[in-house]
Amino acid sequence: MTLLSRLQAELAPDQLITDRQRLRTYECDGLSHYRVVPALVVLPRTAAQVAAVVRACAEERVPFVARGSGTGLSGGALPHADGVLIVTSQLRDILEVRPADERAVVQPGVINLQVTQAATPHGYYYAPDPSSQQICSIGGNVAENSGGAHCLKYGFTTNHVTGLQVVTPDGDLVRLGGATPDTPGYDLLGAFVGSEGTLGVATEVTVKLTRLPETVRTLLAAFTGTDQAGAATSAIIAAGVVPAAIEMMDALSIEAAESAVSCGYPAGAGAVLIVELDGPAAEVAAQFDEVSRLCAENGAFETRVAADDTERQLIWRGRKSAFAAVGRISPDYIVQDGVIPRTALPTVLRRINEVAAEHGVRVANVFHAGDGNLHPLVLFDDDVPGEAERAETVSGAILDLCIEHGGSITGEHGVGVDKARYMPRMFTDDDLDTMQLVRCAFDPDGIANPGKVFPTPRLCGERPGHHRGAHPLQEAGVAEVF
Amino acid sequence: MSALDDLAVKAGDDDVVAGVPARLVAAPATTEEAAALIAASRDLAVVIRGGGTKIHQGPPPRELDLIIDTRRLAGVVEHAAGDLITVVRAGTPMAELHGLPGQQLALDAPATATAGGTVAANASGPRRLRYGTARDLLIGITVVRPDGRITKSGGKVVKNVAGYDLGKLYTGSQGTLGLITECVFRLHPVPLFTLFVRAIAPPTHAANVLTAQSAASALEINAAPGAEPELAVLVEGTETGVRDRATALARLLNGEVTDTPPPWWDTPPWPATGDALALKLTGTLSGVPSLVSTAVEAGLTVRGSAGTGVLYAGAPVDPAATAHVVEVLRAVATVVGGHAVVLTAPPSVRGMIDMWGPVPGLDLMRRVKDRFDPDHRFAPGRFVGGI
């Protein structure tokens, strides 16, 4: 019995895609310069169906890749040419909203924003809000440990997921964590969140709901340059204020946003900060005065305060449209995602501009300043010979700058297929080998999203160290390295 | 001479873990020294000891040759105030971390507990409601694996999704996966002003605090047989804001505003010595009242975070009654989606009860342990399912 005939027995005809043209719909995620057409796409409707598909894959030693809404930006859901793509978009029910327990239980295909919409009538919301929250799925958020503008105060997906039902790479349905915190035993939930689909497929997610704040206030401060805006950011944090968000845009990204959505940011700004404060009204009022004062002391030449929700949306519109807007001022661009300690912001931003100038490309900076999560947009024109390569060089050099300053090669987009080669710059062989111990405990055959996260896919049991050429077992014809 | 010969000395009378005496004790002073020691002690059963505040909690080790004492492996390596992070060696006393200038590691732990021990035990206290636990505040970790390799996970920045988050796996692993030698923590500013609100109130009133706009930093409960249950709330922030919110809460709970916490705040509800039973109980927020009433009816004092559903319960008990009390509490905890873990019990009954209780995903946990510690040398038998 082939894998396909096994799956035909488990799933309805409309849950299996084999037609080459239709398979191409799934050839990439949000990082479209990697494209692989999967061998097969399945659209399960229940956790049991996911388990059946994975069990069949395990028995046939066929790789599988899970995919939610496909908004990932590191190629984490890039299909495997010889594998099954498990699309979770049909698993889209909000199973429970329990405000009294501050929990909701949802299926992985549920859209991030829908959780907040379901909780809001009860006075709660789901705090992690990636910029793609209108379309990204909770299952994808779990896989990537997605962040967003409000991580600074509220943390990441991993801080807001208390329980998971997962299908392990051998096809078992297992619960990790639960509705309550501090489940005894190893925190496999903590290891699973952010494992980018390499430890299995989440089929049910229990999330924390957060009380809606009494007050939200948003201000926009305009500076002559990023040095001043960076200094203001540091001053706010040093003063003991933890805003809900501190976002920065530099001159080039402001220019892009203006040309796209006419957000009307102050003329002549070399950098803007968007600072959002939330919480009890009296606290927010006191902090707001403090933040305004610190921005002014650090060179803000204009400060605007959103008087109502409409004005607040306007302030955010420029920020949220910046990525797409850059497409208007450059034919092509690379979105980089690195992290630095926030005190290194002025130095690193200067270095980024120097490196960009050396290689003759432009870099627009729009990012989460509060937690040092940079999103440099490296602009280039693919039609100009050599420019794409130069942009790629600058993009890599930015990651090296992040590592050099004690940061990380990814703050929220994940490693995926895109950054696997950078992992050895941040981690030693022993560090990576230790991650493989976990991988091998879950997935000894390496069939769950192979080729992602780790630079050199290894078979379990292999000793750590530098390796050249084919894996010995592969050479001996004993096994395939995916 | 191996590092074991260099460092290990004969164990003394106090070098006992949950009733099991050790043969040797070694106290490495650096990660490298610890790695050499662990590599050289390949055939020894090892238990790691920090400040020793929780060393006797949990099942006794199946075997014990060597205690690795972390207290020489101490000191703050780095405090980057502008980045709100600190890098500390595992044996650093929490007292040192509670006194960082202008900033705090917002983990409640005894002053003599160590940073590494607090992580390994995933200990937490009242302020977990606002700040989370070691799980949330740990952003980087260095561990010596049972095979002697030095390995790092995470880093020095709060936002980081590169590779697996192994810091979570080590947090609460009770020394069964290796020796934690260094931790990187996220810090928080020391609040400008704090007040407490105390009230005689049933646990059901905790929900009122959570749904009010009080932004409480801690919401604690104290309930004992024959006494009125109490709630206490910690409010932090600016002076004006804190006064406003504390006044509103005092009105809501019919309680009083005070500068200081109640005497029972962040103290264990069981006697330090003698045949005591001590449990950690977890449940959904709506399940807290039934957990509390069941424990009190069983003769236990209950304290803990009514705002997160993580409670502690204990009392001096008759060993003969222990198994029954555990069974009753475990049944209620299960109904409210949580667990009842026995932290300490009279020595005569420790072997007769499953101190950890049922745990989901145990098979995967065994597979993880087998990969990290194939010979099962680290804290053998002390963890869930006999791991």
Query: Measured between beta carbons, which residues in chain A are less than 8 angstroms from residue B361?
Result: 174-176, 185-186, 188
**Residues 6+ positions from A102 with CB-CB distance below 8 Å:** A124, A208, A209, A210, A211, B210, B285
Whether A461 has a pLDDT exceeding 80, the answer reads: no
- Measured in angstroms, the CA of B83 and the nearest CA of chain A are apart by 6
Would the CB atoms of B163 and A432 count as touching at under 8 Å? yes
Which tokens go with B130?
């606002």
- pLDDT category of residue A459 using cuts at 50, 70 and 90: low
Span A456-472, mean pLDDT? 50
CA B60, distance to chain mean position in Å, is 18
pLDDT at position A2? 86
Q: Distance between terminal CA atoms of chain B?
A: 32
Query: Which pLDDT band, with edges at 50, 70 and 90, does A327 fall under?
Result: confident
pLDDT digits (tens, 9 = 90+) for A128-143: 999 889 999 999 999 9
The β-bridge partners of A97 are: A104
Percent of chain A residues topping a pLDDT of 70? 94
Distances (CA, A) of A214 to A208, A243, B212, B257: 18, 14, 9, 22
- Measure CB to CB from residue A174 to each of B149, B364, B368 and give the nearest one: B364
Q: Which residue of A has its CA nearest to B189?
A: A240
Q: How far apart are CA A294 and CA A281, in angstroms?
A: 20
Residue where the block lists tokens 């794409």: A388
Q: Indicate the average pLDDT of chain B.
A: 96
pLDDT surpasses 80 at A473: no
Task: Return d(Cα B364, Cα A314) in angstroms, integer.
Answer: 48
Asked which of A250-254, A474-478, B381-385 is least confident by mean pLDDT, the reply is A474-478
Each residue's pLDDT tens digit, B162-210:
999 999 999 999 999 999 999 999 999 999 999 999 999 999 999 999 9
Q: What SS3 class is residue A4?
A: helix
* Residue A42 amino acid letter: V
**Each residue of A196-245: pLDDT tens digit?**
999 999 999 999 999 999 999 999 999 999 999 999 998 998 888 999 99
Q: Return the H-helix or E-strand segment holding A176.
A: strand A173-177
Give CA–CA dist B286/B58, Å, rounded: 28
DSSP state, A337?
-
Q: What is the mean pLDDT of residues B362-367?
A: 98
Mean pLDDT, residues B345-349 taken together: 89
Q: How high is the mean pLDDT of chain A? A: 92
Q: Does residue B81 belong to the interface with chain A, where contact is any CB pair within 8 Å?
A: yes
The CA distance from A296 to A315, in Å, is 19
User: Which chain A residues contact residue B379 at CB under 8 A?
Assistant: none
Q: Are strands A215-223 and A302-305 parallel, antiparallel or unpaired?
A: antiparallel
Binning pLDDT at 50, 70 and 90, where does residue A458 land?
low
Q: Is B324 exposed, middle or buried (0-12, 13-18, 19+ CB in 10 A)?
A: exposed
Q: Is the pLDDT of residue A112 over 80?
A: yes
Give the residue-averaged pLDDT of A69-75. 95
Could you tell me the domains of chain B? Answer: 1-189 (3.30.465.10), 193-258 (3.30.70.260), 276-350 (3.30.70.600)
Query: Which member of A147, A168, A431 has the closest CB to residue B153?
Result: A431
Measured torsion, CA atoms of residues B271, B273, B276, B279, in degrees rounded to the nearest 10: 70
Distance CA A104, CA A106 (A): 6
H or E element in which residue B379 lies: none
Interface test with B, best of A209, A234, A434, A440 (most B CBs within 10 A): A434
- pLDDT at residue B53 is higher than 70: yes
Instruction: Using DSSP bridges, classify how beta strands B9-10 and A215-223 pair: parallel, antiparallel or unpaired.
Output: unpaired
* Chain B, window 230-289: residues with a beta carbon less than 8 angstroms from a chain A beta carbon: 237-238, 240-241, 244-245, 280, 282-287
Question: Is residue A292 helix, strand or coil?
Answer: helix
Q: How many residues does chain B have?
A: 387
> Average pLDDT of A446-455?
96
Judged by DSSP in three states, A172 sits in coil
At residue B228, the pLDDT reads 97
Dmax (CA) for chain A in angstroms is 73
Residue B368: the pLDDT is: 98
Give all strands (DSSP E) within A232-361, no chain letters.
245-250, 271-279, 302-305, 332-335, 338-339
Looking at A120-124, A276-280, A472-476, B194-198, which range is the least confident one? A472-476
List phi, psi (to 5°) of B320.
-65, -25
Report in angstroms the alpha-carbon separations of A321 from A141, A260, A315, B65.
21, 8, 11, 62
The amino acid at B355: M
